[in-house]
Each structure stands twice: as structure tokens, then as C-alpha cells.
Chains A and B, each alone.
Chain A
């Protein structure tokens, strides 16, 4: 859909757009973010600093960004998708060559006073680019190998660049976001069957290559896999985090140990309790009630977004929403699976709840796009 097909008579304009915002989504986002504020307050030992207060400010900033993105006509996003994608790739290449190293990975690009994390940006722009791509090409030809390869390239280039940093978690999210868009666009089943088949092959290769010259992952990544497979193997080493996390989570019980009473978190047995392991703290202090209600809220966000995707006839908009929620789902699913010992420890924070600025902003921009698709949805002729 280009602005030429924009049926202004069907579209809300100006401040009227406010009425057409996806209000249930906004309410859900605020509720989820509030879980984060409460937990960040708790893990700081009952203090707004150093985490809760900046997080609230960032969320406010995120809401603002979300509204700006939401009110921007959808055709603008479609038109600039290619440019945004190109810039992202350039920035990722910039990281590759000029990036600053922190915590064993090259993730940041410093330009003057700005500190950019282009991999976060890539989550959005990859989805944008793919949605725009599928909106652009002929629907009948989407399963043609050339088009599938092009789409796959669009998803894989940023994925591989991020994987090189290395940042397994983000790379996975980019690939998944892209994959969901490609799947939703209606590409033939056979490709996905082949992909899953080769995925299994790759896992085998990764595991088999360990210790050889062409070892595919870093040693620490292998250790994380080991620890995942059997956390008790090395309770003080690589398995420590998973073990402690499971202890905290399990000890929460039905209603939890009480607000700010979680011993595992308060006594530092939990690593990264304000970021990757914040769900554990929630589960410890508020128990099954707290943890499952957050999961429910997440699922409701998914449902609300899915409804938007189903109700629009705008192909770009629908694909965009699918990409955003695919990404969002994987985000919290991987994080929760990780702290529950169902997935290896990969550095994926809990969306909207974990402390972190760039991730929060990018998520809110993503939801801004969902809003934009919602407001500017092509309504069926009534």
C-alpha cells in the first residue's frame, strides 16, 4: 500500500487518531511495565534508584515514541523501510569495524555523544524491510526460490552480523522476527520443512564441531549448553545461574515469599536479577500467582496484536504486526524458558520488565508500528 492507495475518507486524521489507538494494548503495556517497576524497586532493596526510577522515565519516553510512531501514517513506514534497513546494515557493519567492546562482545557504536546499539534497531528494521518486500512483490510469486532467497537474505544478513558481535540472543530474535514475517506472508510449507530439517542438522554440526578447529561457537557458549543440559553437573560453575534461578523460582510456591522478601534475590544468589533474571525474582516474591499473571498479560498483548493483524486488509500492516509479535513472543518465551531451565542461558531480557533502555525503546517503537497499522488499517468497505 502506497500513499496513492490511501483512502483518506476511511482514515482518521489529526487528533482523531487518538480515538483509533489500540487502547487495550496501551493498557496492557502499562500493566506489564508496572510489573517491571515493582520488581526493579524490590531488587534494589526497596529503592527507586538505581533501576526503578530510570526505568519509569524510559517507559514514559517509550510511550512518547510509541505515539509518534503510531500517528505517523503507515505508508511512511512502508516507504522508508528499505532506507531504514540499509542504514541498519551500515551501522552493523560500523559496529563490526569501529564498535566498542563491552562484556566480551562488540555491540556499541559511539558517534559523538551517542551510544547506539544497532542490533536492537535491526529487530525492527528487518521486520519492516520484509513486510515491505512482501507487500511489494507479486503475491503469486512469493514461493519462487529467487524471492525466498532474497527474503531469507534480508533476514540473515543482520542476523549474521549480530551473531558475529557475538550476541546470540538478539540474533535469534532478529531471525525469528524475519522468519515469522516470511511464514505469515504465505511462503510454501516446503521451505520451512527444509529449514527445520537443516536446523536440526546445524545443531548436530554445532555440537559435533566442539573441540575441533572449525568450532562454531565460543567455548562459553558451549559451557552454557552443557549447563543447560545438566545444571547440577557443575553447580558452582556454568550451571550455577540456572540452579540458583530454579531454586528461587521454585521456592516462590503459590503466592510467593512476599514483596522484597525473596532471599535468593536479596542475598545475590541470583545473577543479573534486574535484567535477565527478573522473572525469577518475580516468581520468587509473588509466586505462581505473580508469574502466571505476567505470562497471561503477555499472551493478552499477543492476542490484541493478532486481532489487529486479522482485522486489517493492509498486507504490509498485517505482516508488520505479525513480525513484531513474533519477535515479542520469542523475547519473553526464551527468557522464561531460560530461567525455568527449559532453554540454555542466552542473554535475552524480559521485554518491558527487565531494566534496559534501548530494548525498551525499540519495543515501544515496535508497538508504535502495531498502533500505526491499527489506526491506518485498510478497513473493509462497509
Chain B
């Protein structure tokens, strides 16, 4: 439309007015934006900078290397193994199924493994590495590395995992590690942050658990830059952690292995102790288990198998098993009587095969009786009646006192789990726990280590060491190899003439033709041992059984047979080691336990398989056969890997 100039002027003026107005509004808004920009970038930039740093920087803990557990010679009992594993990243792999199927041709992978890997990969973000296989051998990992071009996204990796190279041998002592559980965390007031690292493992039993603080070390840390989805872009800085300290045990791995193998097939315990300083050289509880299974995460089948086994492989019988000591307790009764002054030891007691005490008949194990016996003979032939008599003369209080003095009924502080205290029954104990008064019959039972008395194999070894040295030997399991100071042991203050009698009785037990362990004697010069057998009754043979013809232990079912016990020290003239053996339901001390004690003693004294010459000539053929059979199972010296430290 053709406009007049007036109209044009009007139009221009209107538009100009409105345009300037709009411009002003726009300028105002821009001013607001500028003000906001200034506020955020100049006034609050510190806070925002901090938030940005929080966004991008992630603190990661570097798990420390766990300290080693070594035997007295530096043999690795618990070490850290290079753990070769294969990880795969989805976003690099492309065709997951193809890569996995190729991988399965190179390393053993079950259908289950493949399925699990696939599931993990799909569940995680594509750049998260998923472990496909762990604990591969060097050959397997090399095969994967060599075929890398055909395996996109697959990387061989190396980590550290706990390994017990001697497997069963020290399972009960060293224990094992496992992943941190909720319960572990609850037990701690301020848990070490390292415990929250996924798959971090801590000691669950044995030395691994008790020395956890020393073994664990301190975590290092690493600051990394991550992107919005958590992928690590680069490392900013790193503080290395402190590796855990090594723990040196007093155990001799070779002797331990021999002891455990000597217990093979039995549910039994053996303790070998250095009588001078209390070092525990072997602490074997058979049957044992492979702690490596627990590190890997034991299957429920395997675990139930261990749990339901009658021989209780999971129990450390050396410190946890409490047994009536039987006749091995007789030294206590004898010394109690000597100290109480109720006998001089030379005086004899007549044993008709039984004794009647307040209306009850107490039998001697030898139905026909021992006739007249003095203390030495009573010990050697293990006459029960003699000790029935002595205990009545001196009373339970004296026996109790002597028992404690010799190290029984005491819970020793050792860095292993579930150390039991045994039981030294007193009048007060019975009143509190059995709700009845102590009776003379209880004393008579206690005199031969039956009734209420309970001891652990460790305590019996301590007792034997104390008898051999007349000093208050305390057991020791951990020892700093740099610490050369001799341990000072308090004297037991037992009169030498009393001890001479006890030791003579123990020597005759093994070396006298009438002794109960005569068939287990050692004939090698300078290695003669002194010991004491014990047979502790678990169940009496019932009247019904007796009538149906059961006379002997081996006719009973296994779990009703007597325990066989044996304690000894050697060499007799210059004691170095004390040994205690308990064979659960082994029948009798002289038949089941004494031969084991003898062999382990010889192994300890000879630092290896006992020489045949140490055995009496007529036995050598049989021993040779036994040794050959055992040889297969023993660990060879090259299996014992030394720590480089």
C-alpha cells in the first residue's frame, strides 16, 4: 500500500519508540545475566571449584602386601602368590561370545564360568574389567598373551593372593584368610578403611587372625581423576603403603609335616616342644584341611564334608581338644604325694588289682594286680592302685596344686584361635558346676587322670617339659629371629630326688621290660627317651556288652573306644624336647600313642626320617615297611620354599 509521508513518519516514530524500549528490556536482561555470571564466577568460584574437584578426584586405597608367616628356618608357611587372571572389557571386546569361545580353547573355562562372565559384563558399565578366570598357570596366561591379537578386550593381569604352600601341614596353626564379613566390621570400633576394598582379605583363624595387625600393613593411596561415569582417566599421585610385617613361628615345617603324616588315618594330636625355651616345634592335629580352599571361597560341599567328618578336621586338637589325661597324670599325683610328705617314694603299696573306697570298688587296669610296688615301678607299670592310695593320703587340694604347678589347667596365651584351658577340678569347682560336694571317689578318679580332669595335648607337653627341666616352661609360638636372648624360666622348685624318681619311673616305662611302652623304646645312643603312657576311658564297657562277649577295645565301635595318650621327653640324660600324643579313640596309650611319640621324637632329634638303627633290631623290618609307606606322603625338601628375607 502506498503510504503518505505522514504515515511513514508515524510508522517510523512508533517503531523507533518500541524498538528502543525492546532494546532497553534486552539490555536489562543482559545486565541480569552479567550480574549472575559475576556472582557465580567471581564471588562463589571457590565453592564451585571445590565441587568440581570433588567430582573429578577419586581417592583409591592400594591394599598393602600382607606379611609372610614363616617357620623357624624361614620356610614360607603363608605367602603371597602371584595370581594370574584374565579380565575382559566389554567395550573393547566387541563380540563377547566370539572372544569368550576363543578364550575357552586356550584356558579351562566351564560353561558356568562363561555364563558368569557374560552376566557380569552386561551388568557392569562397558569399560569395567570383568574377571573371567583366576589362578591360572604361567603356561595358560602365556597362551592368552600370545593370542592377544585374536582376543580383543582381553588382558592378562597379575594380583596377589594368599597362598599356603604347605597346604594341610600348618592349617590349624597358621589358619587362613577370607573376605571381610559384616561381622568382622561390626567387631571393630574404627575399622581400617582398607577393609572396605572389595575382595580384601583378613585373617579368619589361627596366627593369620591373631597377628592380623602385624601382618596387614598399612594401605597406600592413590588419587585418580575419573570422568562422569567413573572411568579412571589418569593417576594424579600415589602414596605407597607399608607392607605387613613377617611373623616368624617357632614351628619347624619339616617336623610339622612329619608329625602330621605320622598321625595319618587317625584322629589325633601331636605336640613337640623345646624343653629349654618352650618353643613349639610342631603342633599337629590330624586330620587337617587345605586352608587354600578357604581363601578361594570353599564350596558348601567341601565345607560340609569337613564339618560332618567324625575326625573333626577343622578342630585344632592340640590346643582345643580336651581329654582326660589318664595315666599321664600319674606324675602329678606322685609329686603331690611326695611334696605332701605322705610317702618317701621308696615305700611300697600292695596292689591286689583293685581297691575299695567308701563302698565302691576301683579296679587297677591289671586285673591280677601288680603286687607290691614302689613309686618308680608304679609309674613304669602304671599301677592304678598305688595312685589311688597316694591320692587318698594327700587329698585333691595337693594334687590340684601340683597339677597347676606343672602347667595343667592353664590357658596359654598363644596367637592361635580357640586355645582351651582344660580343667583342674577343685572342690569349689564341683560345688559351683556340679552342684554337689567333692567326694573321695572323685579324688581317686582324679589320681589316675580320670573323672573330671581334662587336659589339652599342649598342656601335657608343657607338663612333660617341666618334669624334664624342673623349670616353669611356657610355650611359645612366635619368635623374633633377631631376638637371641635366652628365655629365663622360673624354677619349679621340685626337689631333685623327687624328680629323679619320677624321671626314673618314666624311663622305665619305656626302657624296662615291664614298662608299658617297652615296645616303643629307642635304642640309639644319646636318644633314649623317658615317657608315660595313658589310656583314658571315654565310655565304660557296659554290662550288656560284656555279656555279649565284648572284651577288647577293638571290638567296640570307633567312637566308644578309649583315647590313647603318650607323653615323653628325650634324650633322657640331656632333655631337649618334650612330646605329647593323643590318639582319639585309639584304644590304648601303649599301642596307639607310644609308637607315634617315639617316631616323632626320633624325627625331631635326627632332623628327618628316623634312622632304623634307633629301633630295636626285631622291629626294624616292620619299621622299614612303615617308613617306605610314609615316604610317599612326606614333603620333599624342595617343597619347602624359603623366604628370601
Interface residues of A (CB under 8 A from B): 5, 136-139, 180, 183-186, 244, 246-254, 263-264, 266-269, 283, 287-288, 291-292, 295, 298-299, 302-303, 306, 309-310, 313, 315, 318-319, 322, 326, 329, 333, 336-337, 340, 342
Chain B neighbourhood of A283, CB < 8 A: 37, 41
Chain B neighbourhood of A315, CB < 8 A: 3, 8, 11-12, 15
Chain B residue with minimal CB distance to A309?
A: B19
Known: A283-B37, A288-B41. A313 touches B52 (CB 8 A): no
Per-residue 0/1 for B9-39: is the Cβ within 8 Å of any A Cβ (1 yes, 0 no)?
0111011101110110011011011101110
Per-residue 0/1 for B573-584: is the Cβ within 8 Å of any A Cβ (1 yes, 0 no)?
000000000000
Known: A139-B10, A251-B48. A263 touches B18 (CB 8 A): no
Query: How far is A267 from B29 in the complex, measured between Cα atoms in Å?
Result: 32
CB<8 Å pairs between A and B, sample of 15 = A137-B1, A139-B7, A139-B11, A185-B18, A246-B48, A249-B37, A249-B40, A251-B45, A267-B55, A288-B37, A299-B26, A318-B19, A322-B19, A329-B29, A333-B30
Cross-chain contact A250 with B47 (CB below 8 angstroms): yes
Chain B neighbourhood of A318, CB < 8 A: 12, 15, 19
Within the complex, the shortest CB–CB distance from B240 to chain A, in Å, comes to 26
Among A136, A254, A264, A329, contact of B52 (Cβ-Cβ < 8 Å): A264
Q: Is B631 an interface residue (CB 8 A)?
A: no
Cross-chain contact A246 with B18 (CB below 8 angstroms): no
Chain B neighbourhood of A138, CB < 8 A: 1
Q: Is B42 an interface residue (CB 8 A)?
A: yes
Known: A249-B40, A269-B228, A333-B33. A263 touches B55 (CB 8 A): yes
Chain A residue with minimal CB distance to B226?
A: A267
Known: A263-B56, A269-B55, A269-B56. A253 touches B42 (CB 8 A): yes
Cross-chain contact A267 with B233 (CB below 8 angstroms): yes
Query: How far is A329 from B44 in the complex, measured between Cα atoms in Å?
Result: 27
Closest 10 CB pairs of A and B: A250-B48, A186-B14, A267-B227, A253-B45, A251-B52, A268-B228, A288-B41, A251-B48, A251-B49, A250-B40
Chain A neighbourhood of B227, CB < 8 A: 266-269
Chain B neighbourhood of A291, CB < 8 A: 37, 41
Cross-chain contact B18 with A252 (CB below 8 angstroms): no
Cross-chain contact B18 with A267 (CB below 8 angstroms): no
Cross-chain contact B15 with A186 (CB below 8 angstroms): yes
Cross-chain contact B19 with A254 (CB below 8 angstroms): no
Q: Is B225 an interface residue (CB 8 A)?
A: yes
Known: A268-B229, A283-B37, A283-B41. A310 touches B19 (CB 8 A): yes
Within the complex, the shortest CB–CB distance from A219 to chain B, in Å, comes to 24
Interface residues of B (CB under 8 A from A): 1-3, 7-8, 10-12, 14-16, 18-20, 22-23, 26-27, 29-30, 32-34, 36-38, 40-42, 44-45, 47-49, 51-53, 55-56, 225-229, 233
Cross-chain contact B2 with A302 (CB below 8 angstroms): no
Chain A neighbourhood of B34, CB < 8 A: 292, 295
Chain B neighbourhood of A180, CB < 8 A: 22
Instruction: Label chain A's interface by main secondary structure.
Output: helix
Chain A neighbourhood of B29, CB < 8 A: 329, 333
Within the complex, the shortest CB–CB distance from B231 to chain A, in Å, comes to 9
Cross-chain contact B52 with A310 (CB below 8 angstroms): no
Within the complex, the shortest CB–CB distance from A368 to chain B, in Å, comes to 20
Within the complex, the shortest CB–CB distance from A287 to chain B, in Å, comes to 6
Within the complex, the shortest CB–CB distance from A31 to chain B, in Å, comes to 17
Query: How far is A337 from B37 in the complex, measured between Cα atoms in Å?
Result: 10
Known: A288-B38, A288-B41. A250 touches B15 (CB 8 A): no
Known: A313-B12, A315-B15. A292 touches B37 (CB 8 A): yes
Chain B neighbourhood of A326, CB < 8 A: 22
Chain A residue with minimal CB distance to B21?
A: A183
Cross-chain contact A340 with B18 (CB below 8 angstroms): no
A136, A251, A295, A303, most chain B CB atoms within 10 A: A251
Chain A neighbourhood of B33, CB < 8 A: 295, 333, 336-337, 340, 342
Chain A residue with minimal CB distance to B30?
A: A299
Query: How far is A138 from B40 in the complex, measured between Cα atoms in Å?
Result: 49
Chain A neighbourhood of B40, CB < 8 A: 246, 249-250, 340
Chain B residue with minimal CB distance to A312?
A: B12
Chain A neighbourhood of B18, CB < 8 A: 183-186, 322
Query: How far is A293 from B433 in the complex, measured between Cα atoms in Å?
Result: 90
Chain B neighbourhood of A264, CB < 8 A: 52, 55-56
Cross-chain contact B36 with A340 (CB below 8 angstroms): yes
Cross-chain contact B49 with A184 (CB below 8 angstroms): no
Among A252, A269, A299, contact of B45 (Cβ-Cβ < 8 Å): A252
Cross-chain contact B15 with A185 (CB below 8 angstroms): yes
Query: How far is A322 from B26 in the complex, measured between Cα atoms in Å?
Result: 12
Chain A neighbourhood of B15, CB < 8 A: 184-186, 309, 315, 318-319, 322
Query: How far is A126 from B49 in the complex, measured between Cα atoms in Å?
Result: 44
Within the complex, the shortest CB–CB distance from A222 to chain B, in Å, comes to 24
Chain B residue with minimal CB distance to A290?
A: B41
Query: How far is A136 from B42 in the complex, measured between Cα atoms in Å?
Result: 51
Chain A neighbourhood of B32, CB < 8 A: 342
Query: How far is A109 from B44 in the complex, measured between Cα atoms in Å?
Result: 45
Known: A269-B56, A302-B26. A310 touches B16 (CB 8 A): yes
Cross-chain contact B30 with A185 (CB below 8 angstroms): no
Within the complex, the shortest CB–CB distance from B170 to chain A, in Å, comes to 49
Known: A185-B14, A295-B30, A318-B15. A267 touches B228 (CB 8 A): yes
Query: How far is A139 from B55 in the complex, measured between Cα atoms in Å?
Result: 59
Within the complex, the shortest CB–CB distance from A263 to chain B, in Å, comes to 5
Cross-chain contact B22 with A183 (CB below 8 angstroms): yes
Cross-chain contact A329 with B26 (CB below 8 angstroms): yes
Chain B residue with minimal CB distance to A298?
A: B30
Known: A250-B45, A268-B227, A333-B30. A340 touches B37 (CB 8 A): yes
Cross-chain contact A247 with B52 (CB below 8 angstroms): yes
Within the complex, the shortest CB–CB distance from A201 to chain B, in Å, comes to 22
Known: A138-B1, A246-B48, A251-B52. 9 other contacts (CB 8 A): A180-B22, A247-B48, A269-B56, A298-B30, A313-B8, A333-B26, A333-B29, A333-B30, A342-B33
Query: How far is A306 from B16 in the complex, measured between Cα atoms in Å?
Result: 9
Cross-chain contact A251 with B51 (CB below 8 angstroms): yes
Chain B residue with minimal CB distance to A134?
A: B11
Chain B residue with minimal CB distance to A287?
A: B41
Cross-chain contact B225 with A267 (CB below 8 angstroms): yes
Cross-chain contact A249 with B226 (CB below 8 angstroms): no
Chain B neighbourhood of A186, CB < 8 A: 11, 14-15, 18
Known: A263-B55, A268-B229. A250 touches B44 (CB 8 A): yes
Chain A neighbourhood of B7, CB < 8 A: 139
Chain A residue with minimal CB distance to B50?
A: A251
Chain B neighbourhood of A137, CB < 8 A: 1
Query: How far is A309 from B227 in the complex, measured between Cα atoms in Å?
Result: 48
Cross-chain contact B49 with A253 (CB below 8 angstroms): yes
Among A250, A295, A310, contact of B49 (Cβ-Cβ < 8 Å): A250
Chain A neighbourhood of B41, CB < 8 A: 249-250, 252-254, 283, 287-288, 291
Within the complex, the shortest CB–CB distance from A50 to chain B, in Å, comes to 18
Known: A251-B48, A295-B37. A184 touches B55 (CB 8 A): no
